[in-house]
Amino acid sequence: MDFWILLWKATLIIGLTAFTILAIGVTYFGALDVKHLLVTLKNSQDKGE
Amino acid sequence: MESLTAIIADTNFTMVDWGIVLVYLVLSVGIGIFANRYVGSLSDYIVAGRGMRTALGIATLTGTEMGLVTVMYSAQKGFSGGFAAFHIGIISGVLAFFIGVTGFIVTRLRREEVLTIPEYYGRRYGKGVQVFGGIMLAFGGIFNMGMFLKAGSMFIVGITGMQSEAALTVVMVVLLGLVLFYTVMGGMISVILTDYVQFVVLSFGLVLATVLCIYHLGWNHIFDVVIAEKGEVAFNPVAEGSGFGFDYVLWMAFLGLVNCALWPTAVARALSCDSEATVKKQFMFSSVTFAIRNIVPYFWGICAFVFVMEMPAMKEAFFPAEGAGTAIDTLYAMPVFLGRILPVGVIGLLTAAMIAAFMSTHDSYLLCWSSVLTNDVAKPLLGDKLSDKGAVLLTRVFVVAIGLLILLISFVYPLQADLWDYMAVTGAIYFTGAFALLAAGLYWKPASKGGAICALAAGGLAIFGLPAVQGLVLGILGYSIEQIADFGATFSSERVGLATVALAITGMVVGSLLMPDKNTNDDREVG
């Protein structure tokens, strides 16, 4: 049972750490991507008109 | 024994928290109105003009796949299964990473530039398979979504401590109304924009709430209580009595693959990406969130279990002695626990985050099934009679119709004891057949229309994995309650699911070999 307890403890710690880092990165770069998407859609609408 | 109302009433939720929730809801509606100005064509409405880059892709994939219903059924699984349930999250993460590295199915679908999965069926197997596949997908998908609204609303009622008997109904109607509003307004563009905001609120809410759970109960204490109450079965997923076992783990491995490569809402994100490289990166990075979306709610469910076991009144309410009354639905355990331990402000933020999770899943699912009904059922049948603008309008009508249908299902269908297994089975109606059609269509030249129809029909048999359906069919055939229970124990949902997968693959292979397409030639595209 010790193996499983150690495995799930490690899973939780590593998972939460990795997720926090990912969340910070996605929050920053995602904001830039939102801007890019809206510009792309606006340009494609202008071309369509 | 304490009643549900009495247990729910004791919460830290205040007017400050309601204010936080309200600000978030107003923001979501505002995004819907703002996004509407960018919708020009059906492609803009369904796949946001294929202009999405990696970080936004990860945010929207996470926002969609980490729904409130996921949080609820995972917490229920953690409450009942303990840490052993973690294996589902790990398998899910590893398979998302595998899809990201190899691009299995998803990159080839992106290369095809289709709007939906059945549209690919149409190109590969013909119009008839597209319509049949579209109906199967929408049927399985809507059925699968039927419990989302109720389970999500139970969280809101549980954490806020609403007392009225009509509270659950009011919450369901209000939340559905909001989602319908901004999905109808802005389609995939508003879905992606709200998904981004939801990702930010949700991810930081998840981490903060988890840290507070550990702070409140104590890291080692959580493990000690679970060891004392349940022993090895709460940690070892293949131990006898764990409620899982080898066939369950194998079924979870297939579901992990399905969640990334076949589930239409996840594939819709791949189809919205600006390139195949972005698709791969999106899945590779999202593997962390595919694992966490289960693991964190399992952990909350486990913490709720520890909390309940240490409060005699709650222990009696959730685990009453034989003959002492009906147990409270275990779905309420996690929200009630969080409502009691989180401080004012944080509880409002977490509720906003969970409403974010609820809305981001609903909007994507509503858009996905309605897109399929428009693109793969109405369009092939109506042909040129359906203009691009008419298609957008029809998609919006389907969004509202499906919304009303799931509200109806919420009222008439009783919530199952294990929500996750219900969702796995209803999803299997679609994905067991879809796996054979996509894998064979993209990687096996002899795959034919005859094989595709056999595989889709075989996939539909997955519905017999639902205990309610088994009971209904066997009851009609005259079996006794004991015989039905024995049958259910032998033909569990995971065994029926795995058998259906094997049957669908066999149907595709045998059907294709016995009924090859007449126009088969060596240069036919397989991806």
- pLDDT tens for each residue of chain B, 527 residues long: 566 677 777 788 889 999 998 988 888 777 767 776 666 555 655 555 566 777 887 888 787 777 788 888 889 989 988 999 999 899 999 999 999 999 888 888 888 888 788 989 999 999 999 999 999 888 888 888 888 888 888 888 888 888 777 888 888 888 888 888 877 776 666 777 777 888 888 888 889 999 999 999 999 999 999 999 999 999 999 888 877 888 888 888 888 888 778 888 788 778 877 788 888 888 888 889 889 988 999 999 999 999 999 998 888 888 888 777 778 888 889 999 998 999 988 888 888 888 877 877 787 788 888 988 998 899 888 877 878 788 888 988 998 999 999 888 888 877 655 777 778 888 888 888 889 999 999 999 999 999 999 999 998 888 888 877 888 888 888 888 888 888 877 888 888 888 999 999 999 999 999 999 876 544 444 44
Check if the beta carbon of residue B76 is closer than 8 Å to that of residue B420.
Answer: yes
Check if the beta carbon of residue B206 is closer than 8 Å to that of residue B200.
Answer: no
Instruction: For chain B, give the mean pLDDT.
Output: 84
Q: Residue B523 to residues B114, B120, B326, B519, B520: CA-CA distances in angstroms?
A: 21, 18, 64, 11, 9
| Contact assignment for A37 to B56 by CB distance below 8 Å | yes
Burial of B208 (0-12, 13-18, 19+ CB in 10 A): middle
Q: What is the pLDDT of residues B194-239, one digit of tens each?
A: 778 888 888 888 899 999 999 999 999 999 999 999 999 999 998 8
Distance from CA of B80 to the nearest CA of A (A): 16
CA distance B229 to B234: 9
Sign of CA dihedral B511, B514, B519, B525: positive
**Encoding tokens for residue B271?**
């189809």
Find chain A residues with C-beta within 8 A of B41's C-beta: 48
Distance from CA of B40 to the nearest CA of A (A): 7
> Could you give the count of Cα atoms lying within 13 Å of B250 in the half-sphere of its Cβ?
12
Check if the beta carbon of residue B466 is closer than 8 Å to that of residue B143.
Answer: no
Counted across chains A and B, CB pairs separated by less than 8 A come out at 117
Coil, strand or helix at B3: coil
Distance from CA of A30 to the nearest CA of B (A): 5
pLDDT value of position B388:
78
pLDDT value of position B524:
47
> Could you give the count of Cα atoms lying within 13 Å of B11 in the half-sphere of its Cβ?
33
Determine what percent of chain B is predicted with pLDDT higher than 70: 92
Q: What is the pLDDT of residues B119-167, one digit of tens each?
A: 899 999 999 999 999 998 888 888 888 888 888 888 888 888 887 778 8
| Contact assignment for A27 to B199 by CB distance below 8 Å | yes
| Contact assignment for A4 to B295 by CB distance below 8 Å | no
Which residue, chain included where needed, has tokens 């009354």? Answer: B325
Find chain A residues with C-beta within 8 A of B295's C-beta: 11-12, 15
Residue B273 phi, psi dihedral angles, 5° rounding: -70, 155
Closest partner residue to B189 (CB to CB) among A23, A26, A41 is A41
Find chain A residues with C-beta within 8 A of B58's C-beta: 22, 26, 30
Closest partner residue to B295 (CB to CB) among A15, A38, A42 is A15
Neighbours of B111 (CB within 10 A): 14
Best mutation target among B289, B300, B360 (most A Cβ atoms within 10 Å) is: B289
CA distance B73 to B501: 23
pLDDT value of position B446:
93
> DSSP of B369-406, one letter per residue?
HHHHIIIIIIHHHHGGGS-HHHHHHHHHHHHHHHHHHH
DSSP element (H, E) containing B135: helix B127-145
Chain B residue with minimal CA distance to A27? B200
Best mutation target among B38, B46, B190, B226 (most A Cβ atoms within 10 Å) is: B38
| Contact assignment for B288 to A11 by CB distance below 8 Å | no
CA distance B7 to B336: 7
| Contact assignment for B207 to A20 by CB distance below 8 Å | yes
| Contact assignment for B296 to A42 by CB distance below 8 Å | no
B503's CB contacts (< 8 A; 6+ apart) are B432, B458, B461
| Contact assignment for B223 to A12 by CB distance below 8 Å | no
Neighbours of B6 (CB within 10 A): 12
Sign of CA dihedral B415, B151, B291, B504: positive
Rg (CA), chain A: 20
pLDDT value of position B391:
84
Q: What is the 3-state secondary structure (H, E, C) of chain A?
A: CHHHHHHHHHHHHHHHHHHHHHHHHHHHHHHHHHHHHHHHHHHHHHHHC
Distance from CA of B88 to the nearest CA of A (A): 12
Find chain A residues with C-beta within 8 A of B38's C-beta: 38, 41-42, 45
Residues 4-43 of A with CB under 8 A from B: 4-5, 8-9, 11-12, 15-16, 18-20, 22-23, 25-34, 36-38, 40-42
| Contact assignment for A1 to B227 by CB distance below 8 Å | yes
CA distance B513 to B524: 16
Q: What is the pLDDT of residues B409-453, one digit of tens each?
A: 888 877 655 777 778 888 888 888 889 999 999 999 999 999 999
pLDDT value of position A10:
95
| Contact assignment for A16 to B192 by CB distance below 8 Å | no
Q: Residue B131 to residues B55, B135, B382, B391: CA-CA distances in angstroms?
A: 34, 6, 12, 16
Best mutation target among A2, A6, A19 (most B Cβ atoms within 10 Å) is: A19
B45's CB contacts (< 8 A; 6+ apart) are B39, B187, B188, B189, B392, B395
CA distance B463 to B140: 9
CA proximity to B89, closest of B113, B71, B104: B71
Determine what percent of chain A is predicted with pLDDT higher than 70: 92
Find chain B residues with C-beta within 8 A of A2's C-beta: none
| Contact assignment for A33 to B56 by CB distance below 8 Å | yes
Closest partner residue to A26 (CB to CB) among B193, B199, B227 is B199
What stretches of B413-527 show up as alpha helix (H) in DSSP? Answer: 419-443, 449-460, 467-476, 481-490, 493-514
| Contact assignment for A26 to B58 by CB distance below 8 Å | yes
Check if the beta carbon of residue B438 is closer than 8 Å to that of residue B120.
Answer: yes
B6's CB contacts (< 8 A; 6+ apart) are none
Give this complex's ipTM.
0.88
Kindly report the pTM of this predicted structure: 0.81
Sign of CA dihedral B84, A23, B366, B23: positive
**Encoding tokens for residue B527?**
């991806």
Distance from CA of A36 to the nearest CA of B (A): 8
CA distance B438 to B444: 10
Best mutation target among A34, A36, A43, A46 (most B Cβ atoms within 10 Å) is: A34
The DSSP code for B461 is G
Check if the beta carbon of residue B107 is closer than 8 Å to that of residue B527.
Answer: no
